[in-house]
A and B are shown apart, each in its own frame.
Chain A
Amino acid sequence: DTAVSQTPKYLVTQMGNDKSIKCEQNLGHDTMYWYKQDSKKFLKIMFSYNNKELIINETVPNRFSPKSPDKAHLNLHINSLELGDSAVYFCASSPGGGDEQFFGPGTRLTVL
């Protein structure tokens, strides 16, 4: 009965590789988000989708590409991984126009 789930929970990879993180929510929400939490625990929004449409796109390298196949899923693909991409990535969702965002458990990405 997990509300917002992410896979994988841990991801260790080499510089230059391409990787994807998947997110699914079963709350029936219209809006989904990706956040990055760095080593100092600072949380910053990366992207937001509303009903499969991109509505927020922060200053993120174009190596990061979100994809929303349907409103329950928002995946994050990262090309040519760099050391600075190491962080915890959180997916979140909220009702359309709603305030409360429900976060997933996070994916810890380590780039070696």
Chain B
Amino acid sequence: QQQVKQSPQSLIVQKGGISIINCAYENTAFDYFPWYQQFPGKGPALLIAIRPDVSEKKEGRFTISFNKSAKQFSLHIMDSQPGDSATYFCAASSLTGGGNKLTFGTGTQLKVEL
């Protein structure tokens, strides 16, 4: 059972364009929605995160849009750069006894071309 669905699986964007990755979740107990960025051979690193009490969060070129009623959230990367080429994972979690159990989406491989 895939509790967090992510699309697209891969994405090619021209330099300077907007990259958009979408996720949908099922479990209404989720209360934390992070996006992780992973470069080849490295561990995932937190990019940006949102809680369900706000509909949007922006950090630099990265924005999360959150729609609680639709149980969907998305990552927008403005002015995409070749250095943004990586795999992006959405995730969701709810606090479980002192630790957060992250449920990840299936990942989106982003390539930004010159």
Contacts and interface: CB of A to CB of B under 8 A. Distances in A.
B54 interface: no
Given A40-B106, A41-B87, A43-B104, A103 B99 contact: no
B52 interface: no
B104 A101 contact: no
Contacts of B87: 41
Nearest to A96: B98
Interface stretch (A44-52, A62-70, A75-83): A44-52
Contacts, number: 72
Given A101-B46, A105-B42, A106-B43, A30 B98 contact: yes
Given A104-B43, A106-B41, A106-B42, 13 more contacts: A31-B98, A41-B38, A41-B107, A43-B104, A44-B104, A45-B102, A45-B103, A94-B100, A97-B95, A100-B49, A101-B46, A103-B45, A105-B43
B95 to A, nearest CB: 7
Residues of B in contact with A, size category: 20 to 34
A78 to B, nearest CB: 19
B101 interface: yes
23 contacts: A4-B43, A33-B99, A41-B38, A42-B104, A43-B44, A43-B102, A44-B104, A45-B101, A49-B99, A50-B97, A50-B98, A55-B97, A55-B98, A56-B96, A92-B43, A94-B99, A98-B100, A99-B32, A99-B49, A100-B34, A103-B45, A105-B43, A106-B41
Nearest to A31: B99
Nearest to A99: B32
Main secondary structure of the interface of B (DSSP, over half): strand
Interface of B: 32, 34, 36, 38, 41-46, 49, 87, 89, 93, 95-104, 106-107
B98 A90 contact: no
A59 B25 CA distance: 21
Contacts of A30: 98
A98 B99 CA distance: 7
B43 A90 contact: yes
Contacts of B95: 97
A42 B44 contact: no
